[in-house]
Structure 1
């Protein structure tokens, strides 16, 4: 399997994207504290090196992220794949994908959505281990009291993403 990578500049900072020939496997902000560990997981689990070149998946992702950050896109078409994480984490990540654009839910609600209402701490942990920032919208999960809660790439970024999605003046396309 060949893996490709691209650094994508966004309004929230540079992002590193990793894809195979058919799916996006990882998307994170470059300065995420755990990005080196996650790159190591990608290399070890897939037993391959990552080429320093882009491909069609990554080029399309860059176009979509530019539209997203300019308020012109509310649904991504870039194909994603959950290659990493436990079955529980993958279940949480799939549930994150069901949170509508412009809406938020609590960690407790997310736990209820996956049928494990007492697992909100485990859900929060899985949320933080998401390999596909923005496309798997972990930023849409907030604390039960309505506060922003945590975000592995910084609260300021989470606030920016929520602001983009809550801007009612955005031209939203599917």
Structure 2
């Protein structure tokens, strides 16, 4: 399949969406649809209800889908392929039986497999190794457990992008979709860096940060497209002083040394109301939370709770504009674009830092 892909140019995403609606088998094994609202990726022939065009992404390999944070559909089973080598199906079935298991080469040997043979077979048929697939499945299982309130953050980190190598292809593809830069416009630059909660993507010009998001936020591709339209610029891979600064500040934050964020923010993408809400969020002290109604009342408009929620969701400066500090009126965790498990971790992390009064500490 890998060799076929190298010789085959996929049509436009609009053409692929038409093939999805028609359940056309023309691109079987050559293209997959990722559904941003569900986090699932499917074959184009999947019989499931079809998503809206704006909620779809199309990739040419299973590997890219999984590296971008999507998990395989249980209905059309895109990891299965007719006529495939038996050991691939055997190991995928074993993985389905216990998706949270931590597989090693010793486990493969214990089952009578040669690790190098397994590696080559999976790379030939799926474009990634079995151990990589197992790691992405563990990551998904850990995220679901954390969303349900379990204390399994160590398992999530262990299952995540430890070295960052698994994320590079998805990042290059994401940034590589940028349109040609218009004349007389500054180029925006994007880079990514590791955190205990998985990679984060930062986009900035020379002086200001325009976007900071977790790599698997479903809205990230749409946010990048919107940012490019708004600024009439392109996004290229690289670093600027603004990205260097936010990287250092996040290291201090996750290391428990500081919660001071002083990187200049470009907030022109928001409406005047949204910017007012974000300003209120940044006033919430470290280690504390507020309800949506609290923010609305603080803006002297208690009827605007829903609007506050929408403004909170429109924030594309994760952590720096602390939308994770907003909770439900009953004290429950509510929606968070980066995932409820991350929200829970961030609140627990900040609660530990609260007694140290680190929010006034200078970045050294």
The answer to whether the superposition gives a TM-score over 0.5 is yes
Show structure 1 runs of 4+ deviating over 6 A.
none
TM-score normalized with structure 2 length: 0.46
Q: How many residues align?
A: 174
Q: Deviations over 1:25-79 (max 9, x none)?
A: 1100010010000000111010110121101110111111111011111221111
Q: Which aligned pairs between 1:5-84 and structure 2 lie closer than 5 A?
A: 5-84=190-269
CA contact (8 A) 2:207 2:240 kept: no
- Distance, in Å, in 2 between the alignment partners of 1:134 and 1:110 is 18
CA contact (8 A) 2:290 2:326 kept: yes
Partner deviation per Cα, 1:66-122 (whole Å, 9 max, x = no partner): 110111112211111212122211111111111111110000001111221111111
The structure, 1 or 2, with the larger RCO (C-alpha pairs under 8 Å, 6+ apart) is 1
Equivalent residue for 1:163?
348
Is 1:147–2:332 an aligned residue pair? yes
When the two chains are superposed, the root-mean-square deviation of aligned CA atoms in Å is 1.3
User: How far has the Cα of 1:2 moved from its partner?
Assistant: 2.4
Could you say if the C-alpha distance between residues 87 and 171 of structure 1 is closer, same or farther in structure 2, counting changes exceeding 3 Å? closer
Q: Is the 8 A contact 1:10 1:69 kept in 2?
A: yes
Unaligned runs of 5+ in 1: none
SS at the partner of 1:167? helix
Q: Which has the larger radius of gyration?
A: 2
Q: CA–CA distance in 2 between the matches of 1:101 and 1:87?
A: 25
The structure with more helix, counted as a fraction of residues: 2
For 1:123, which of 276, 291, 308 is the aligned residue?
A: 308
- Report if the CA contact (8 A) 1:130-1:136 is conserved: yes
Contact 1:71–1:171, Cα closer than 8 Å, also in 2: no
